[in-house]
Structure 1
Amino acid sequence: MKSSLAISGRNLTFILICSSGGLALTLAGLSIGWMIGTLVMAGVLSMLNPKWVSRLHVEKGLQSYWLKAGQLMLGVQIGMQVNGSILTALNRGWLPVLIMILASIVLSLVSGMALFHFSKTDLITSLYGTTPGGLSSMIGIAADAGANMAVVSIIQTMRVILVESTVPFIVSIWNGPVQERAATAGVADKLTPASAAGLLLLIIIAVMSALLGEKIKVPAPWLLGTMLGAAAARIVFGVITASALPVWQPHVLVIAAQVTIGTCVGSRLNRKMFVDIARIAFVGLMGSIGLTAAMFLCALLVSDLTGIDQVTSILAFAPGGIDVMAVTSEALHANSTFVVAVQVLRVLAICTLLPPFFALLNRHRAQTDPASK
């Protein structure tokens, strides 16, 4: 017992040290600073591996329960965004929206296959690296799938930075001067007995869903199971009571999820993962540019077909982070509910459907091509 507590304490110390990198990038104004900064700091320390670092975690990274904890927090966070208003927002033009979500998935698969063929990385790493399912989500799932975390992290980070540094700027010019406003995601800003009870309920349901996911062999159950469990709880509550489940979302929960996952992933990095990374990064960047441009054009098409304004449509289909697209939509007075609805549905679809497909595809390739093993 004492040994386990000592290991947990050393791991926690390492997490807190690495979080300084996230704090630095966040203070510098990077919206995904907590995740990227922490991951970079943990990766650098793990590759340099001074003696004091080797005492804080084992060679293969932190204990597995830390990644599960980070995935749990992230799954609950995404599940919080789901409620009956999403269905209402999608009531108009649901078919074009569904087609475009599927199109984004197909385009990401094409990009992944291109990365696989034009670089030296393996198939599973290529697919997870190019899939726009959210930076934290894809890194968390890929960590369980045995992908090259250096490649996945770099390609996912490049895509998110590309999208979040260009799309809000473009639509801001498109829409004219804006006024900054805080984004709301359908969750409570203040702590009340009802919102605290709602958060506790979601966490309990999320843990039960994760344990069930482990039993039925769901990929990354502590992310996918918690995400689906929390989302289902909010939808069922809304259907039964005709009102949204009050849930308190402390901002520290979001930060803790990003810091924990970033540290867990970074602690697994080593120098061998970065062999021939320049070619991989270039091909990945070209794929990200192509995907972003294609989704931009698709968004304009959806706008013409459904009558949804162009800014709302562009932000809804942009392959970037949910939070940044939601904040931008609020600032530009776009339909933020629709933006969040489409972004959340895409993340849910990608995180639910693609990991089993990737695993099946990888097993099939291993059976048909012995050299791939």
Structure 2
Amino acid sequence: MAVCIGGVLLSLGAGGGAWILGGIAAGALVFYIGRDRTSHVLKPNHNARKIGQMLVGLTVGFSIQHSDLTLISTQLPVLLLLTLFLLGSGIGVGYLYSRVAKTDVLTGLLATTPGNIGVMASIAADYGRNPALVSMVQLMRFTAITFIIPLISHVSQQTDAGSLLHSLTQNALTLEPVYLIWLGSLLGVAAIAVRLGTRFGIPVAGLLCAIGVGTVFNTGFNLLPWFPSVDFSLPTLLNLIGQILLGLTIGEYWGISPKLRKGTIVHALIPVLLTFLTGIMAAGLAMLFTSWDWLTCLLVTAPGGSPEMIWIALGLDRNVEIVTAGHLVRLIAINVSLPILVPLAGSLDHHTTNPQDSRQSCNQPQ
């Protein structure tokens, strides 16, 4: 179903985000239909998302393995400035949302800070806040950005659906034994790296560790003097599978979500819109201080999922190294700042009137 929907979206001009959007639509439809027709508790498959992140990460790694990554170091001050701007504006949006939704400040901050949906919701649960509200706002932001960015990209740069389909079907998967051995070795090394990265607390290890493996895979073997020259490349079929898996989990969350009150949805739309506007403002700042084109600036600062934004940059051939570095810096900054959010929220709550608890506004996604 995801392939069919993605193909239709591709023909309509969705471009690099067609398969991710197809996965979202398919996951939502299947889970929405199935939740009332089975006695089993339906849960989003987190392993599927990790695999999707790994496949997309490998694709990104192979695409930048011949790039001069030392040039990115000169852009680190700009990336740090953009990250601080986004974090600061995110705190402002979160505080405003907590006042509008009449909830506590910590819930507002966790709901509006761009980050992993599951991580933000689990932190809210650990501190006795409202994980359902956090999940819902995060999900709305993530889905909206994932839908909007490909449309903006298509307007800014027209893509030919026929050429994209041709590039997909060409060398989709080679069945030569030697190639399959190399492919199995690559996937095995990537899986081990992701497992170790997760154990050591690397943020979004499925994506970042896989990028590292893809970047050094060929180079590492070619450094061995007794080893034959290696020029391995990923089959395009894995790229498609990775994109679809990224979308499926988000669609599954939507499929099992209960009916929400109109007021809750309207309130949640406010931080989603404001977060997107701050991303556009940050993109404008990036254009002032760099020579990046508009799409690159937008993809660096877009408050969507890092794998999705990086993949769109790769599909449009838009400075994927810069986009990857920008999201890496932001992911690290968000994870470092999480322990600061709790005392900050407590301080803000202390100086304002205690808001009414909104825990019953929606049910927690499974």
Q: TM-score, normalised by structure 2?
A: 0.67
How many residues are paired up? 319
Counterpart contact for 2:94–2:112, Cα < 8 Å = no
Question: Is residue 68 of structure 1 aligned with residue 47 of structure 2?
Answer: yes
Question: Is residue 288 of structure 1 aligned with residue 276 of structure 2?
Answer: yes
Cα 1:244/1:211, change in 2 over 3 Å: same
1:332 maps to none
Counterpart contact for 1:83–1:244, Cα < 8 Å = no
CA distance in 2, matches of 1:340, 1:217: 24
Counterpart contact for 1:300–1:313, Cα < 8 Å = no
Higher relative contact order (CA 8 A, sep 6+): 2
Question: Is residue 207 of structure 1 aligned with residue 196 of structure 2?
Answer: no
Which runs of 5 or more residues in structure 2 are unaligned?
125-130, 224-229, 358-366
Counterpart contact for 2:24–2:248, Cα < 8 Å = no
Cα 1:84/1:256, change in 2 over 3 Å: closer
CA distance in 1, matches of 2:205, 2:335: 13
Counterpart contact for 2:106–2:346, Cα < 8 Å = no
User: Deviations 1:202-226 (Å, cap 9, x if unpaired)?
Assistant: 332333334435544556xxxx233
Counterpart contact for 1:126–1:152, Cα < 8 Å = no
Counterpart contact for 1:21–1:38, Cα < 8 Å = yes
Counterpart contact for 1:164–1:324, Cα < 8 Å = yes
CA distance in 2, matches of 1:169, 1:244: 35
CA distance in 1, matches of 2:79, 2:261: 32
2:227 maps to none
Cα 1:156/1:229, change in 2 over 3 Å: closer
Cα 1:84/1:168, change in 2 over 3 Å: closer
Counterpart contact for 2:310–2:323, Cα < 8 Å = yes
After superposition, residues 340-359 of structure 1 pair within 5 angstroms as 340-355=320-335, 357-358=337-338
After superposition, residues 124-143 of structure 1 pair within 5 angstroms as 126-127=109-110, 129-131=112-114, 138-139=116-117, 142=120
After superposition, residues 125-204 of structure 1 pair within 5 angstroms as 126-127=109-110, 129-131=112-114, 138-139=116-117, 142=120, 147=131, 148-170=134-156, 182=164, 190-191=173-174, 192-193=176-177, 195-204=179-188
Cα 1:366/1:113, change in 2 over 3 Å: closer
1:230 maps to 210
User: Deviations 1:92-131 (Å, cap 9, x if unpaired)?
Assistant: 4642x22332233223323321221111366467456453
Q: Per the alignment, in what secondary structure is the counterpart of residue 234 of structure 2?
A: coil
1:5 maps to none
Which runs of 5 or more residues in structure 1 are unaligned?
1-15, 330-335
Cα 1:76/1:346, change in 2 over 3 Å: farther
Q: What is the CA distance between 1:37 and its match in structure 2?
A: 1.6
